[in-house]
Amino acid sequence: MNQLQSSRGFESDYLQPAINLFKEMSTNSEFDEFLTLPAYKHL
């Protein structure tokens, strides 16, 4: 994710929270029933 951020020169207030959310969701021992639920708190 950091490589994506630096290679494209992409600066956004939304990218880092999205990266953090992806890392959190993909490394949890249990998956959320609906993958969109954890993202709702960021809307």
- Residues 29-43 have pLDDT tens digits of 887 777 788 888 877
pTM comes to 0.59
Q: Name the residue among 20, 27, 24 with its Cα closest to residue 1.
A: 20
Task: Give tens-digit pLDDT for 4-36.
Answer: 666 666 666 777 888 888 888 889 888 777 778
Closest CA to 39 of 1, 24, 13: 24
